[in-house]
Amino acid sequence: MAHNHDHDHPHSHHHHSHGSQGNIKIAFLLNLLFTLLEIVGGLWTNSMAILSDALHDLGDSVSLGISWYLEKYAQRGPDQKYSFGYARFSLLGALLNSVILLGGSLVILVRAVPRIISPEPLNTQGMLFFAILGILINGVAVLRLRKGTSLNERVVLWHMLEDVLGWVVILAASIVLTFVDIPILDPILSVLITLYILYHVLVNLREVLSIFLQRVPKDFSIPEIEQELATVPAVMSVHHTHIWSLEGQKHFLSTHVVLGDEINKEEIVCVKKEIRDVIQAKGIEHVTMEIEFANENCQGECCY
C-alpha cells in the first residue's frame, strides 16, 4: 500500500503573517490610547453613546491584545506537540474577540435602552470634538486592517469599523443636537449601531466555529472533487475523502484512491502527481492520499 504526503511550505506565509501581526498591533495600541480618551470624554459630555463605546473599547483593547499575541504565537512552525503548527491560535484569537464583542454589544444595549425611555442632557460641542477625533484615530486602524486576509484580522477589522461607524453617527447626531434639542437621538443611534455590528459578529462567529468543528470549507464539494479525481487516467474510484481548514486559509485534504491491480510503480507515481496537481489547483495546499488496489480490502488486511 503506498502513501503520499505533500507537505506545506510555511515560509510562503511568513511575510503575510508579519503583516497581520503589525496590523493588529497598531489597532491594539490605537484602541487602547483612544479608550482612555473616551472614558474622559464620555464623563465630560454625559453622552451614553460615548460612554458605552468607551466600555466597549476597553473590552476591544483586551481582545485586541490577545489577538496580537495569538497572531504572533500562530507563526510558530510544526513541532512534536502541534504537528500541524500553531496557525489555529490565530483562529482562537478570532473566537475570543467575537465572544468579547458579543458581550460588549449586550452591555451597550442594556445601558442605552433605559436612556431612550428617560433621555439626559448632553454636551454637544464635546461630542462633536470626540467624534472627529474618533473617526481619525479609528480610521487609521481600519485602513491598515482592510487588506488583511486572516479571520483574526477580519474580526479585528469589525472592531475598528464598528468604532468608525459609531463615531460617524455620533458626529451626525452632535451636529443635529447643536441645532435641535432631542437628546433621545443619542441612545437610539447607539442601539442601531450595536445591532448592525452584532449581526456581523454572529456571521464571523459562525465561520470561526465551523472551522473549529472541521466543517468542509464552503468553496469545496467532496462529491465534485471525487468525481473529478475519478477522471484521472488509471483511477478506478475515489472514496474516504476529507477536507478541512486549519484557520480559514490553509486547507487540507486526505483521500483513498483505488487503482487497477496491473498498474506499475511509474504509473502510480504519475497518478499521484496528477491528483496532487488537480487538488492544489483548487487552493488546497496539503494533500495526503492512500493508494489502494482493486482486489484489496479497504482495511488493508494482509493476504499471504
Q: Mind listing the pLDDT tens digit for each residue in 72-89?
A: 777 788 888 888 888 788
What backbone phi and psi angles, to 5 degrees, belong to 123? -95, 95
Highest mean predicted confidence (pLDDT) among 51-55, 107-111, 223-227: 223-227
Position 133 pLDDT exceeds 70 = yes
pLDDT of residue 258: 93
- Residues 257-292 pLDDT 10s: 999 888 899 999 999 999 999 999 999 988 999 999
Q: Do domains 9-212 and 222-293 have the same CATH topology?
A: no
Which residue type sits at 147? K
Question: Mean pLDDT over residues 149-158, rounded?
Answer: 71
Q: Mean pLDDT throughout 234-242?
A: 92
Q: Where are the domains of the chain?
A: 9-212, 222-293
The pLDDT value recorded for residue 18 is: 56
Mean pLDDT, residues 145-149:
69
Is the pTM higher than 0.75? The answer reads: no
DSSP state, residue 287: E
> Are 67 and 93 contacting, i.e. CB atoms less than 8 angstroms apart?
yes
CA distance 183 to 185: 5
Backbone angles phi, psi at 291, to 5 degrees: -90, 130
Q: Which residues of 236-263 are buried (b: 16+ CB within 10 A; e: fewer)?
A: eebeebebbbbbbbbbbbebebbbeeeb
Q: What is the pLDDT of residue 35?
A: 84
Collapsing DSSP to helix, strand or coil, 217 comes out as coil
Residue 113 Cα distances to 71, 106, 118, 189, angstroms: 36, 11, 9, 11
> Mean pLDDT over residues 166-175, rounded?
84
- Mention every residue, 6+ apart, whose C-beta is less than 8 A from residue 88: 74, 246, 247
Top pLDDT among 80 and 300 is at 80
User: CA 199 to CA 209: how far, in whole Å?
Assistant: 16
Whether the Cβ atoms of residue 78 and residue 85 lie closer than 8 Å to each other: yes
How deeply is 30 buried, as exposed, middle or buried, from its count of CB atoms within 10 A (0-12, 13-18, 19+)? buried
> Which helix (H) or strand (E) element contains residue 296?
none
Q: How many CB atoms lie within 10 A of CB 222?
A: 14
Residue 168 has pLDDT above 70, yes or no: yes
Average pLDDT of the chain is 80
Which CATH class, in words, describes the domain spanning 222-293?
alpha beta
pLDDT for residue 215: 93
In the chain the first and final C-alpha atoms are separated, in Å, by: 14
Residue 242, pLDDT score: 95
Stronger pLDDT, 33 or 2, i.e. the higher one: 33
The mean per-residue pLDDT over the stretch 207-212 comes to 90
Reported confidence tier of residue 134, pLDDT bands at 50, 70, 90 = confident
- The CATH architecture that domain 9-212 belongs to is Up-down Bundle (1.20)
d(CA 258, CA 135): 59
- Give the residue among 263, 299, 257 at the shortest CA–CA distance from 278: 257
